[in-house]
Amino acid sequence: MSDICIEKVGLTAKTTRIDAPASIAGKGADLDANADGFVCSSEMPKESAAEFESWVSTTQIDILLEINGKKILKSQLDGLQRFASDNNVRVEDILARSEVGNGYAYELNLYTCIRTAGYMPCEDDPWAKQIHDISALANLKNLRSLNLTATRVSDLGPLSGLKNLTSIDLNQTEVRDIGPLASLKNLTSIDLTGTEVRDIGPLSSLKNLTSLDLSATEVRDISPLANLKNLTSLDLSWAQKLPAAKALPILKKLHNLQSLQVESTKFSKTQIKELRRGAPDLWIEYPDRRLY
């Protein structure tokens, strides 16, 4: 890393002051902090900076660091560094795709939309294709939003303990089993677009869910959604293996649904009209614009 800074005052209950090795501070004196209360490796002689960075990497104190302008706790950085190593990417790139607050990583967006020109569709993010192992994310307990679009992730097990997670995007991943999501009761938004997910039973307990994208999935049964009373947006477009006759009664139970997308599905115009009669304010995206 090009520049590592450390907050002079520790954040743990046991630590009130950061005392670096004497060889770094100079004759036993404490490090001088800058106006923001941080001491930076870039402000030190080369030899001292190297020892400073080594000390930071080995200390067991959960100290607040500043790296490339982002202030993050060492415990959080350790997790991101392990994640970067597991996926053969740079931690600087992970940080660039993260939002950090109060020392914690709370948003991680591992996909960047690459547009060739104007409003052309996004091309695949080659960087995201390197991501396949998310086991190191298990310790990021403050994570609220996670975008894994276009990565090669298949195992969601490491996420089962991230109770603060409210949004997860698994668009075009290799995920098939969404069982680990069942314990994430604070989830409000899930995107499973283009995955081979077939069983959405684990979603039945996610009472806070408001937005769900099942487009182009292998889903054949949406009965687990019947009791999700807070669901306002549902995308079933291109879910061509979903029997419309079985899905229609479930959709009628979703009284708070405001938006429904069913392009390229087995729903007939007659079934769409029947659904609209019971929910006249429901916006339905269907090939026939007269049914909007």
- Listed by start position, the domains of the chain span 1-67
| pLDDT mean over 86-98 | 92
pTM of the entire structure? 0.84
Alpha helices in 71-200 (DSSP H): 74-86, 91-96
Among 48-57, 144-153, 241-250, the range scoring the smallest mean pLDDT is 48-57
Q: Which two tokens stand for residue 120?
A: 């052309």
Return d(Cα 264, Cα 260) in angstroms, integer.
13
Q: How far apart are CA 249 and CA 251, in angstroms?
A: 5
Residue 275: band (very low, low, confident or very high) from pLDDT cuts 50, 70, 90: very high
Alpha carbons 34 and 44: distance in angstroms, whole number: 12
What's the chain's average pLDDT? Answer: 84
